[in-house]
Chains A and B, each alone.
Chain A
């Protein structure tokens, strides 16, 4: 158990591990006898599901940026704000901090997530410049941070239920809130479909190839 390359995996021992409860079974077992989860040594449908959800996530993210997130009516004058438009508005009102939170949560994080998931999925098939450790950390980050993009949808929900003051001021949700929420949900499903064990298989076979190459060379 010295380096990350020399670790023994369940698959090396001819066993299959339950990803839900960490129990180990003989390779031919199909359902975990402890927690009832389906067992698969490696989930071969994983990558196609990752790509399918990711494409859905990206395609709903586009209308989320084009259509208005919410419409504000103050004294019969109505304005509609898109995600980026709303943030620019906030900067004009000197709330730079909140504008940054909105921009990070609704623009930077979703786009970074699309790129990160695509990169991880691609790195399974080809070699990668990043080590398995770094890629695993990237995966954990994507899984952890994905849910936080929902914040903008919640803000719209809170504002539209609260700011209903007749003519004085009212805020109503726009269609973009729906497509933004769907984009976040699909991207979360995409990250969940990813079988992170493949990150480590890859590096192991790369190491083995290198070892064989060295033996042949000597």
Chain B
């Protein structure tokens, strides 16, 4: 792709194929300030947001700080008949520590802490050069692909709902209180959801196009 762009290949960059149903579209104006959806399966193709890149970077940094906070402070606290116990996020993740359940501990730790954290770092690695008008990092494409592959396995929001269910489940057994880490974690969940809705995948990929100059205004 580095050699002279033949008319045919340069023509191909102006096409978008719907990843879900293979229908093909031509990108008409390169300003693409409007959202584009596939007309037959309604998959989102282009979702530009003004200044999205900077917003995403700020949200990523916030998430990073909050996650570290959420790891250190107590997450939930329980009291019954004068006895009390508090658990951190790590305790919850490592609850299955005996025998074959060990695997589950690792999976839970990955799904609620490690994968969300990895996605934040990967996003920063990919987006920071793009937003600040630098050439993309050499492994940016790999990093963004990994981040997208990890997306369904990042389950922080599901864990948050799990907390609410647990709360009611033991309500008649003991009293539960939320620790500071719980509120930090809730903030992380909301930020991750906003961030995902802000990220236009097509624009990021277009900005990583090998022979392309960064021209995506909406990424800045």
Which of B152, B162, B209 touches A34 (beta carbons < 8 Å)? Answer: B209
B96 A157 Cβ-Cβ under 8 A: yes
B21 A136 Cβ-Cβ under 8 A: yes
Which of A9, A132, A192 touches B24 (beta carbons < 8 Å)? Answer: A9
Q: With A35-B208, A150-B111 given, name 8 new contacts (CB 8 A).
A: A24-B16, A150-B158, A155-B166, A157-B104, A158-B95, A159-B169, A168-B174, A177-B104
Which of A132, A181, A192 touches B104 (beta carbons < 8 Å)? Answer: A181
B134 on interface, CB distance cutoff 8 Å: no
Interface size class of A (residues with CB under 8 A): 35 or more
A68 on interface, CB distance cutoff 8 Å: no
Chain A proximity of B19: nearest CB distance (Å) = 4
User: How would residues 157 to 181 of chain A score, 1 for a CB under 8 Å from any chain B CB and 0 otherwise?
Assistant: 1111111111011010101011001
B152 A192 Cβ-Cβ under 8 A: yes
B205 A35 Cβ-Cβ under 8 A: yes
Query: Which of B55-63, B65-73, B141-149 contacts the other chain?
Result: B141-149
State the A residues within 8 Å of B (CB): 1, 4, 7-13, 15, 17-26, 33-37, 72, 74, 90, 93, 95, 97-98, 101-102, 132-133, 136, 140, 143, 146-148, 150-151, 153-166, 168-169, 171, 173, 175, 177-178, 181, 185, 188, 192, 196-197, 199-201
B168 A163 Cβ-Cβ under 8 A: no
Interface residues of B in 74-98 (CB under 8 A from A): 76, 78, 80-81, 83-87, 91-96
Q: List A contacts of B84 (CB < 8 A).
A: 165
A168 B83 Cβ-Cβ under 8 A: yes
Max chain B Cβ within 10 angstroms of own Cβ: one of A21, A156, A200, A201: A21
A74 B83 Cβ-Cβ under 8 A: no
A20 B169 Cβ-Cβ under 8 A: no
Query: Which of B39-47, B116-124, B190-198 contacts the other chain?
Result: B39-47
Q: List A contacts of B13 (CB < 8 A).
A: 23
Interface size class of B (residues with CB under 8 A): 35 or more
A37 B16 Cβ-Cβ under 8 A: no
Cα of A101 to Cα of B21 in the assembled complex, Å: 33
A24 B12 Cβ-Cβ under 8 A: yes
B22 A200 Cβ-Cβ under 8 A: yes
Which of A148, A158, A160, A178 touches B100 (beta carbons < 8 Å)? Answer: A178
8 CB < 8 A contacts A-B: A7-B24, A22-B17, A23-B17, A133-B40, A153-B104, A155-B165, A163-B78, A178-B103
Chain A proximity of B31: nearest CB distance (Å) = 18
Which of A10, A20, A151, A169 touches B173 (beta carbons < 8 Å)? Answer: A169
A22-B205, A133-B41, A200-B21 are known contacts. Are A36 and B92 too (CB-CB below 8 A)?
Answer: no
Cα of A214 to Cα of B151 in the assembled complex, Å: 46
Which of B104, B112, B144, B174 touches A165 (beta carbons < 8 Å)? Answer: B174
A151-B158, A163-B170 are known contacts. Are A22 and B18 too (CB-CB below 8 A)?
Answer: yes
Q: List A contacts of B170 (CB < 8 A).
A: 159, 162-163, 171
Q: List A contacts of B165 (CB < 8 A).
A: 98, 101-102, 151, 155
Cα of A23 to Cα of B204 in the assembled complex, Å: 12
Q: List A contacts of B41 (CB < 8 A).
A: 132-133, 136, 196, 200
